[in-house]
Amino acid sequence: MKRRLVLALSLVFCLLYLCSCATFAQSLQVWAYDTLCTAKVWGGTNPSSVFSEAAAEGQNLISPKGDKQFYAQKAGDSLPLTEDLARILRQAEVLCEKTEGVFDLTVAPLSDLWDVNSATEPPSSEAVGEVLSRVGWDKLIRTDSALIFPERGMGIDIGSVGKGYGADKTVLALKAAGAEAGVLSFGGNVALFGSVNGEPFRVGIRDPKGSAGETFGELRLTDTSVVTSGGYERFFDYEGTRYHHLLDAKTGYPRQSDLLSVTVACADGAQADLASTALWLMGEEKGLALYEALCENPLFRPFDVIFLCEDGRVLVSDGLKDAFTLTSQNYRWEKP
Amino acid sequence: MNRNVRIWDLVLIIALVALCTVPLWFPSSEGAYATVSVDGAIVTRLPLSEDTSFRLEDGTLLVVRDGTIWVEESQCPDGLCHEMGRISREGQTILCLPNRISIVISGEVDAYVG
Amino acid sequence: MWGNSSRISRITQFAPLLAVALILSWVESVLPFQIPVPGVKLGFANIVSLFVLYAYPFPQALGFGVLRALLSGLFLGRLSGVIFSLCGTVLSLCGMALLKKCSCFSSLGVSAAGAVLHGIGQLCAASFLLTPAVWSVLPLTGISSALCGVVVWIPLRILGRYNLPGIGQNMNKD
């Protein structure tokens, strides 16, 4: 009798022990979008293979070969539109209109000209002027099923949008495989789902002026994507001037903004990426107006923003007020 | 005395050791940073991984060592903040009400954006 | 005869046992190597406590344990830590007495469990008096205590082989 009791107790104990082990997170990683994509996933069957398959899917947003750019090889080349791509491009179109052409996905040939990742000096103004003539969303012809490029050498670059899109797809795939929770980071694009022990996840937002790993704030969130844009991410310095990767499609030169960074939290990762870039390009005043306009727009899902201003102020939209914590003494959280 | 070592002894020992590993079952909530605020405004954020000391303007001396932080010296009349000891885990707090100082431990974030 | 002796004979029996326990504690404290886990000691003195637990009724064993904890704290100058070792001792002796009643376990299991409970008792006190953060050392404390409990059991077993006058039959009774 006593033996049976002890045996039963030890069995229950072992079972509990094993159960608790099963909820440990798996750390996964895969190389895609020319960057390291990592994830921590709780639960689910075989999350590692689901992850590596789904993570790369976003690369095929514009072509099954995994290109992140599309260039017209001759006048009249067209890019076939999938449903998802069409939705993303409709949003990009709205942003292009509302920013009066400063934000423009057809900036691809300009980005390649500047090539801030490897360049050491800016291109000549003639070269910029020449390439600028091949930039402009309004030049494109859009049908229901395709995007037609009227000129050779025009193109669109949706590399970064693809990351947000791919992260969303990966979250869906992991959820379908039974995963309870996860934190995905695709080269700085973060997607969150579920929760561990009922706690939201913690996302640190990098301090553009601090060293690596330093943050100016933290967000406690789940079931959302978080993307930050800013001119500090990729740049080169030439003769005392900093040239970064966020180009003004109107002028062809890096845009001057009075924002250090814009962080967007949105259930749609692709939208978060588009919106954060466009808002940063607009600067504080116009950016706030643009944010309000986008909140009204039915093409955009509801989203929240954090503006980090050059003068050290931090502006947080209402939906993130409870989720945000300031973590740096160098900035002030302006509460209206 | 029971001279025969029994299988149950082993079961007991293993069960006890397993019981002692309970803290390991949960994701570690060791803190990573101590955020020091005076009057609600952040003064500094000290990583607990680096042994250091920090003196606040009013003379309060904080020491970080071995992943814990404590108040080494304080000007406050009751000295309670000194007696609150060392804190190291997420959510733990040292309060010094006379000086309006708070030290809160926060954990490592799950991901970074930007 | 040992267990039910008069007051005087109890004193004459406990005094040398206490002395042995204190000497063992002292020997342990001057050993060149120490276990680098907070609150964990090899616990040579526990040999005596364990012996007393098996040879005497529980209340006397408990009294002996408390006295030993107090006196070793006093003699070894660790008075500030006495409250921790007291908690550890009480929890450990109570637990061991219960386990001893259960016929499943031999002195090995009882000794190891006692050592682990001693560690847990200390942590209980520390988490109340200092900070709950001390529980994070439980895995380390538990595993090293269990090992110590097994090591300490070996001399007790050897001791049990010798038919000490009056002790053997009483120990077998329990």
Strands A313-316 and A332-333: parallel
Cβ of residue C160 closer than 8 Å to a chain B Cβ:
yes
The DSSP call for residue A76 is T
Which of the two residues, A239 and C159, has the higher pLDDT score? Answer: A239
Helix (H) or strand (E) run with residue C100 in it? helix C82-101
C131: pLDDT strictly greater than 60: no
Contacts of C135 in chain B (CB under 8 A): 23
At the topology level, CATH places domain B33-106 in mini-chromosome maintenance (MCM) complex, domain 2 (2.60.320)
Task: Work out how many domains chain C is built from and give that number.
Answer: 1
pLDDT score of C102: 81
Distance (Å, rounded) from C-alpha B106 to C-alpha B39? 19
| Residue type for position A333 | W
Contacts of B11 in chain A (CB under 8 A): 6, 10
From the list C103, C109, C133, the residue facing B12 with the nearest CB is C109
Instruction: Give percent above pLDDT 90 in chain C.
Output: 7
Identify the residue among B3, B9, B94 best suited for mutation to test binding to C, counting C beta carbons within 10 A and taking the highest. Answer: B9
Q: What is the DSSP string of A21-59?
A: HHTSEEEEEEEETTEEEEEEEEE-SSHHHHHHHHHGGGG
Axis-axis angle for helices A83-98, A269-296 (nearest 10): 50
∠ CA A20-A23-A24, rounded to 5°: 100
CA distance B72 to chain A (A): 22
Contacts of A218 in chain B (CB under 8 A): 106, 109
Distance (Å, rounded) from C-alpha B62 to C-alpha B36? 10
Sheet holding A324-326, edge to edge: A324-326, A215-221, A201-206, B111-113
Q: Identify whether the C-beta of residue A309 lies closer than 8 Å to the C-beta of residue A284.
A: yes
Distance (Å, rounded) from C-alpha A247 to C-alpha A256? 9
B25-55 tens-digit pLDDT: 765 467 888 888 887 678 888 888 889 999 9
Q: Which two tokens stand for residue B31?
A: 């803190």
Axis-axis angle for helices A159-176, A83-98 (nearest 10): 140
- The verdict on pTM exceeding 0.90 is no
pLDDT score of B80: 58
| Residue type for position A120 | T
Per the structure, the complete domain to which residue C49 belongs is given by 7-31+38-161
Cβ atoms within 10 A of the Cβ of C67, count? 15
pLDDT score of B81: 67
Q: What phi, psi does A248 have (nearest 5°)? A: -85, 115
Residue with tokens 């797809």: A169
Q: What is the DSSP string of C50-89?
A: HHHHHHS-HHHHHHHHHHHHHHHHHHTT-GGGHHHHHHHH
Residue C130 in domain: yes
C170: pLDDT strictly greater than 90: no
Instruction: Give percent above pLDDT 70 in chain B.
Output: 75
Nearest to A166 by CA among A88, A107, A78, A81: A88
Neighbours of chain A (3+ CB pairs under 8 A): B, C
Give the ipTM of the model, two decimals please.
Answer: 0.78
The DSSP call for residue A117 is T
Residue C172 in domain: no
**Mean pLDDT along residues C103-124:** 87
B4: pLDDT strictly greater than 70: no
The CA-to-CA distance between both ends of chain B, in Å, stands at: 68
CA distance C143 to chain A (A): 16
For A273, A309, A332, C60, C157, the CA distances from A285, given in Å and listed in that order, are 20, 10, 18, 81, 82
Cβ of residue C171 closer than 8 Å to a chain B Cβ:
yes
Nearest to A154 by CA among A115, A112, A116: A112
C36-60 tens-digit pLDDT: 555 566 777 788 888 888 888 888 8
Q: What phi, psi does A6 have (nearest 5°)? A: -60, -40
Cβ pair B45:A13 closer than 8 A = no
For chain B, the structural domain boundaries read 33-106
Q: What phi, psi does A66 have (nearest 5°)? A: 85, 20
Q: Which residues of A146-175 are buried (b: 16+ CB within 10 A; e: fewer)?
A: ebbbeeebbbbbbbbbbbbbbbbbbbebbb
Could you tell me which residues are beta bridge partners of residue A29?
A38
Nearest to C139 by CA among C121, C159, C119, C113: C119
Helix (H) or strand (E) run with residue B46 in it? strand B41-47
pLDDT score of B20: 86
Residue C170 in domain: no
Q: Identify whether the C-beta of residue A208 lies closer than 8 Å to the C-beta of residue A230.
A: yes
The DSSP call for residue A72 is -
- Domains along the sequence of chain A with CATH: 25-61+160-333 (3.10.520.10), 69-157 (1.10.3980.10)
Reported for B90-97, long-range contacts at CB under 8 A and 24+ positions apart, including other chains, are B90/B29, B90/B30, B90/B31, B91/B29, B91/B31, B92/B31, B92/C131, B92/C133, B94/B69, B94/B70, B96/B60, B96/B71
Q: Identify whether the C-beta of residue A105 lies closer than 8 Å to the C-beta of residue A138.
A: no
CATH number at residue C27: 1.10.1760
**What chain C residue is nearest to B29 in terms of C-alpha separation?**
C136
Q: Give the length of chain B.
A: 114
Q: What is the pLDDT along chain A (336 residues), one digit of tens a residue?
A: 556 655 666 565 555 544 444 456 788 888 888 788 889 898 888 888 899 888 888 788 877 777 778 888 888 898 999 899 999 999 999 999 999 999 999 999 998 899 888 888 899 999 999 999 999 999 999 888 899 999 998 999 887 788 889 999 999 999 999 999 999 998 878 999 998 877 889 999 999 998 777 889 999 999 999 999 998 888 888 888 889 989 999 999 999 999 999 999 999 999 999 999 999 999 999 999 999 999 999 999 999 999 999 999 999 999 999 899 898 888 999 877
CA distance C21 to chain A (A): 34
Axis-axis angle for helices B7-20, C107-129 (nearest 10): 20
C174: pLDDT strictly greater than 50: no
Q: What phi, psi does A228 have (nearest 5°)? A: -120, 135
Q: Identify whether the C-beta of residue A102 lies closer than 8 Å to the C-beta of residue A196.
A: no
pLDDT score of C33: 64
The DSSP call for residue B30 is B
Q: Identify whether the C-beta of residue C137 lies closer than 8 Å to the C-beta of residue B34.
A: no
Q: Identify whether the C-beta of residue A139 lies closer than 8 Å to the C-beta of residue A151.
A: yes
Distance (Å, rounded) from C-alpha A242 to C-alpha C167? 88
From the list A197, A201, A208, the residue facing B110 with the nearest CB is A201
| Inter-chain CB pairs, A–B, below 8 Å | 84
Distance (Å, rounded) from C-alpha B44 to C-alpha B49? 15
For A190, A275, B41, the CA distances from A42, given in Å and listed in that order, are 16, 30, 36
